[in-house]
Structure 1
Amino acid sequence: MRLWLILRAINNVMKNQKLSIYLIKDNITDHSDVVKDVSTNEIFDNGVLYYKKSFSKKPAWTDNFFNKNIEDLKNSTASGLYITKTKYNSKDIYFGLSFGHGWQMFKDGVIVEQFGIKTALSVIKSEVKKIEKKNFKNGLKDVSEQLGRIGTVADFGFDIEQDIMRAVVGEPEDQELYGKNVIGKDAISISIKRNVDEVNDVLLELYKAYISNKYKERFDWFDNFSAVNDKKVVTDLDNKIVSKINDDSKTDVICWLAIPEVIEWENTKCFKYSARNNATEYQDIIFDDFKDSLTDDEKTNITVDLLKSKKVQQVDTNDQFIKEWSIYKCLYAEIDSNSEKYLLVAGKYYKVDATYKNKIESEYRVDATFALPDWDKNDHENIYNNKVATNDTAYQCLDGGVSQTNLIGKGKIEFADLVRSDKHLVHVKKYGASAVLSHLFSQGLVSADLLLTDKSFRKEVNSKLINSHKSVVLESDPNPSEYTIVYAIGTSKDDLKLPFFSIINYRNIKKQLSLYHYNVLLVKISQI
């Protein structure tokens, strides 16, 4: 009894230590294959601590703002990476425990991706405290959300069809073992009262939780998108992307550039593709600007190595380079390969679950019965819409939107680009990335909702209609089943092939409109 009291007292005195734990890939056992620099180290009974020597330096803001060198103000950071192993079924399982910025000491490609988040989802309760997600509905958006209380994933507005969960924070079911909170990403982070001699049993339990796949019981949708780790598959996919960049006519890849993480835009002055002081400044990153920064030889032979070696720098309002990423990490792509759908997101490949993919694409239909005139590809959308209405009296072009003073912001609502006299409401857009198409689909949904629910909106629309079209929208309550919402997308391609996440977005919008009893069509306009 006395021994138990002594042990409890020691445990109460011991402080919690935050541990960021990475699982190292099975085929890597030599520490020199894991750690960039093994020259500075400290050996322990169960592993080796590799570390960077710490140096103090003055923060830049002392000179930039105060114009003074204040000797007592210094920055210093310590980084360590502890490599250890445990056994499971006679097999050595290697882990890396990161301290400070120790994670930067890992060599590329040595850790198991998503180990942390899958393990966290397997050990936490059903409710979560915080999530980080990447959303494809409006292009590519990183979102970090935290509730004042624990809640279900649905409480965070998580869309299992358009969001990829990248990190999660929750309470573990076994708080005696894992502490009060676990954070899962590539690493799993826990705060526990264990030291270097006592941690390996916790590592073993984390590994068991990881291979149990328990997360599938409550978060089965997580595997709608799964990480791709096979080097051969990655190489094949990389080659397809490079082929697309060098030959834009390829149709099996859709790709674009975007910042791969959440940044402080208010502290961002510009982006540069070179560290030179006189390098061209850009307000965002796009392929055309990146290509302009290349030499003539590079432009004609873009390779994966070039995409990985070329950087884009984020410059803050003090003209300091604060972050940089490889172009490859900023590359986002959707690839069709061997009847599979793959996504490249922030330097990582994901495969879309085949059952999920088939379910989504089986509901995708482009209507061939509703025809619109060909579109001169040199014409802007408003010019095309006016030409349609001028040449066919069944159509009226509504230019400039409809005022809706009851809405916050008192902006303009685009009721429709073209109104046909038989109650077809046509929304027109040139083919573009997911964000562009998302705007098109949302435009139709907002317009249809207001048509059904807002009398003042109907009155405003009616006032914009010419006499031959007045009956399309009256002030009285409409019958939505008499209306057809038409999404018309102009493209010079033979087929109207939307980005995968745009297909999901259209599918969800169509479901909402169908619940209102509207008819919905997706049609192609041929651009010539």
Structure 2
Amino acid sequence: MKKRTVRTPAKPPTRNLTFLLIKKEFKTFEEALKEPLPRRQKQLPADYGFEGTLYTSESPAKKPRWVSFVEEGFPEGIPIDPSSTPGAVLLLKADSRLFALTFGQGRHLLKADACEVDFGLKVTLNMVDAAKLRSLDMRTFEESTLHTRRQVSRNSSLDAFNVDVIRDLLGAVTGEPPDAGFAKRLTGRDALTLTGAVLFSELANTCKVLLKAYKENKYKENFAWVDNIRLVKDGFLREELNQQLMQAINKGELHKIHLAPPEVIDWTQAGFRYPSERVGVDEPHSDLDITECLEALAKRAGGSASALELTLDDFKKGKIRVVYEDSSYEHEQWPLYNCLVAELSGKESLHILSAGQWFKIEKTFAAQTLKDAKGFVKELTGFPAARPGETEGDYNARVAQGSKSLALLDKHLLKSKGARTPIEPCDLFSLSGQFIHIKRKVRSSALSHLFSQGSVAAETFLRDDSFRKKLKAAMTQQNPSLAALLDDPIPSNYEIVFAVITGSKREWPEALPFFSQLNFVRHAQRLSGYGFKVSLCRIEEKA
């Protein structure tokens, strides 16, 4: 059949076109579309040169929500007519793969799991000039996850974005490709937005170029770190991981599963109740514990925890309640699922559930992180085991009581020059120049706060003379014989000690959640760069 002659503009205008790659398991256009299928569709002519179908839809006409507010001041009405929101998706075939171009609200015509995850991100990283980046969307792992968009006023290299390759997850990137004739700019996440002069007749060829770029690994020359941690957005994989998690819980295989608050809370006041527990009958728990939680759920079901068959729905509907000493009110704070912290190992990667989201950790990166953390492990000599239920404050006071070689600085908050909030220099300071920071259990959010606090305090001690004077005054009150050790702030004279109270029987520091290992390594390497000695210690919990 003779190919149709298509009239094209002499100089096509610059457009923003959004491309998605359909997963291989979707063999036809209709399989990638939501049910019911859009009523309006139009196929490209058979002699066009490539196969494609356009699907369109319109939402019911309605006024924007703000109109009713404005009409309160204009009883006679305002000249705003209801309008529909049109959407379209063009599905086409190129190199035996299906592609989707979306227009308006057309993305919503596709099934949620029909498209390849990170297609746009990978294509963009493989095609852009690494020295001509414009914008990065990052997710930074700390005690709470920070989402940021970092933009520069002109094309720049990666160095201009201050990326921390240890803890930053790349969500989207914008940059310029070397071939300006193909595109002026590319922006990639799951979808790829191409800004350039593209002819409709060349769409299939454009898709072939994008598919070729998607299959390449050129991005590893400048962006290899993006594979270290990836958010799992594939719904099928999340479902499979959740099934594995439920199987492990129901089999009692809990050594890599625990409960932790998914956000920072005030541990001096909080207690917890599990979904099945009642006020006046069950005492609140001082901490979250997966074994206690399963026993509480089994008690409600009238059986034993070993015979309990829990479903994902049980964890998503069940709520952890937070109890405060100064109030009888209990707040349903989080779904039980969001409090699960789990690690599932595969052949090539490690998958981690944290705060309700699954992450894929490249296995060699996980192994290197653990190796780096082990390099800082040290025994904290002379420190007794913690008692079950003993608070950090009580433990610190007991250790320091009567000691001539320790000064208790727990809860001594000192303000740095220009700082908005005071900081705690450490929990204990030792005769050998150790700034000792102590935290209970292996909770990612609490430990992230521990590592951050220790880093900030050490850096402030180093650069702020007024802070050192305040610290010396506090030290003089606690243990005058140690105050003179603060006079000459040479980093190599001091050791920043991070000590974790845990009753876990697992190896150390394997007992730490992966994100805790990751955060520790980042802070330890930063402090070592200043010249401080750094150590990661374990304080056992024994009855």
- TM-score, with normalisation over the residues of structure 2? 0.75
Give the match's secondary structure for 1:43.
strand
CA apart distance, 1:448: 2.1
Letter in structure 1 aligned against 2:311: T
Alignment of 1:342-381 (within 5 A): 342-344=351-353, 350-365=359-374, 366-381=377-392
Change (3 A) 1:142 1:95: same
Q: Which moved more, 1:232-241 or 1:21-30?
A: 232-241
Deviation string, structure 1 residues 483-505 (Cα, Å, up to 9, x no partner) = 22211112232235222122122
**Percent identity over paired residues:** 27
Alignment of 1:223-242 (within 5 A): 223-225=227-229, 236-242=240-246
Alignment of 1:219-298 (within 5 A): 219-225=223-229, 236-242=240-246, 250-253=254-257
Q: Which moved more, 1:370-379 or 1:249-258?
A: 249-258
Change (3 A) 1:234 1:72: closer
CA apart distance, 1:36: 0.7
Q: Which moved more, 1:441-450 or 1:231-240?
A: 231-240
Distance in 1 (CA, whole Å) between partners of 2:451 and 2:228 is: 23
Give the match's secondary structure for 1:83.
strand
CA apart distance, 1:328: 11
Distance in 1 (CA, whole Å) between partners of 2:367 and 2:488 is: 39
CA apart distance, 1:40: 1.7
Distance in 2 (CA, whole Å) between partners of 1:65 and 1:245 is: 54
Distance in 2 (CA, whole Å) between partners of 1:475 and 1:396 is: 12
Letter in structure 2 aligned against 1:522: L
Change (3 A) 1:187 1:137: same
Distance in 1 (CA, whole Å) between partners of 2:311 and 2:10 is: 55
Distance in 1 (CA, whole Å) between partners of 2:220 and 2:98 is: 25
Give the match's secondary structure for 2:344.
strand
Which one of the candidate residues 485, 500, 514 is aligned to 1:489?
Answer: 500
Change (3 A) 1:308 1:197: farther
Deviation string, structure 1 residues 268-317 (Cα, Å, up to 9, x no partner) = xxxxxxxxxxxxxxxxxx999xx99xxx78x9765346778999xxxxxx
Paired position in structure 2 for 1:177: 182
Paired position in structure 1 for 2:24: 26
Change (3 A) 1:211 1:338: closer
Give the match's secondary structure for 1:167.
strand
Please tell me whether residue 208 in structure 1 is matched to residue 212 in structure 2.
yes
Distance in 2 (CA, whole Å) between partners of 1:33 and 1:306 is: 32
Paired position in structure 1 for 2:42: 43
Letter in structure 1 aligned against 2:370: E
Deviation string, structure 1 residues 420-468 (Cα, Å, up to 9, x no partner) = 2332221111235433222211222222223333333222211112474
CA apart distance, 1:47: 0.9
Structure 1 unaligned regions, length at least 5: 1-6, 260-285, 312-325
Distance in 1 (CA, whole Å) between partners of 2:388 and 2:151 is: 45
Alignment of 1:429-468 (within 5 A): 429-431=439-441, 433-465=443-475, 466=477, 468=479
Alignment of 1:111-150 (within 5 A): 111-126=115-130, 127-150=132-155
Paired position in structure 1 for 2:523: 509
Give the match's secondary structure for 1:113.
coil
Paired position in structure 2 for 1:56: 61
Distance in 2 (CA, whole Å) between partners of 1:306 and 1:204 is: 45
Distance in 2 (CA, whole Å) between partners of 1:206 and 1:191 is: 13
Paired position in structure 2 for 1:520: 534
CA apart distance, 1:57: 0.8
Distance in 2 (CA, whole Å) between partners of 1:228 and 1:399 is: 40
Deviation string, structure 1 residues 5-32 (Cα, Å, up to 9, x no partner) = xx99x343x4433221111112321222
Please tell me whether residue 99 in structure 1 is matched to residue 103 in structure 2.
yes
State whether residues 407 and 479 of structure 2, in contact with CA within 8 Å, keep that contact through their aligned partners in structure 1.
Answer: no
CA apart distance, 1:252: 1.6
Please tell me whether residue 336 in structure 1 is matched to residue 341 in structure 2.
no
Paired position in structure 2 for 1:3: none
State whether residues 113 and 186 of structure 1, in contact with CA within 8 Å, keep that contact through their aligned partners in structure 2.
Answer: yes
Structure 2 unaligned regions, length at least 5: 1-6, 45-50, 264-287, 320-333
Paired position in structure 2 for 1:272: none
Deviation string, structure 1 residues 130-161 (Cα, Å, up to 9, x no partner) = 11122113332222221122222232121111
Give the match's secondary structure for 2:365.
helix
Distance in 2 (CA, whole Å) between partners of 1:255 and 1:27 is: 36
Distance in 2 (CA, whole Å) between partners of 1:310 and 1:405 is: 43
Change (3 A) 1:249 1:489: farther
Deviation string, structure 1 residues 64-120 (Cα, Å, up to 9, x no partner) = 565467562435311212110012xxxx11101111222222223221111110001
Give the match's secondary structure for 1:36.
coil
State whether residues 331 and 344 of structure 1, in contact with CA within 8 Å, keep that contact through their aligned partners in structure 2.
Answer: no
Q: Which moved more, 1:494-503 or 1:58-67?
A: 58-67
CA apart distance, 1:162: 0.8
Distance in 2 (CA, whole Å) between partners of 1:306 and 1:433 is: 23
Distance in 2 (CA, whole Å) between partners of 1:345 and 1:189 is: 30
Distance in 1 (CA, whole Å) between partners of 2:310 and 2:260 is: 15
Q: Which moved more, 1:34-43 or 1:201-210?
A: 34-43
Consecutive aligned runs of 4 or more in structure 1 exceeding 4 Å deviation: 68-71, 226-236, 243-249, 254-259, 299-302, 305-311, 326-334, 344-350, 472-475
CA apart distance, 1:393: 4.3
State whether residues 58 and 85 of structure 2, in contact with CA within 8 Å, keep that contact through their aligned partners in structure 1.
Answer: no
Distance in 1 (CA, whole Å) between partners of 2:105 and 2:261 is: 27
Change (3 A) 1:486 1:345: closer
Deviation string, structure 1 residues 165-220 (Cα, Å, up to 9, x no partner) = 11101112222112x21110011111333354331111111111111222122222
Distance in 2 (CA, whole Å) between partners of 1:475 and 1:287 is: 40
Change (3 A) 1:51 1:165: same
Change (3 A) 1:347 1:310: same
Distance in 1 (CA, whole Å) between partners of 2:125 and 2:501 is: 43
CA RMSD of aligned residues (A): 3.9
Give the match's secondary structure for 2:94.
strand
State whether residues 54 and 91 of structure 2, in contact with CA within 8 Å, keep that contact through their aligned partners in structure 1.
Answer: yes
The total of aligned residue pairs comes to 471
Letter in structure 1 aligned against 2:115: I
Distance in 2 (CA, whole Å) between partners of 1:244 and 1:347 is: 17
Q: Which moved more, 1:187-196 or 1:502-511?
A: 187-196
Change (3 A) 1:308 1:19: farther
Distance in 2 (CA, whole Å) between partners of 1:378 and 1:54 is: 58
- TM-score, with normalisation over the residues of structure 1? 0.77
Distance in 1 (CA, whole Å) between partners of 2:355 and 2:26 is: 24
Which one of the candidate residues 181, 191, 194 is aligned to 1:190?
Answer: 194
Letter in structure 2 aligned against 1:378: G
Letter in structure 1 aligned against 2:123: T
State whether residues 254 and 499 of structure 1, in contact with CA within 8 Å, keep that contact through their aligned partners in structure 2.
Answer: no
Distance in 2 (CA, whole Å) between partners of 1:329 and 1:167 is: 27
State whether residues 417 and 464 of structure 2, in contact with CA within 8 Å, keep that contact through their aligned partners in structure 1.
Answer: no
Letter in structure 2 aligned against 1:363: D
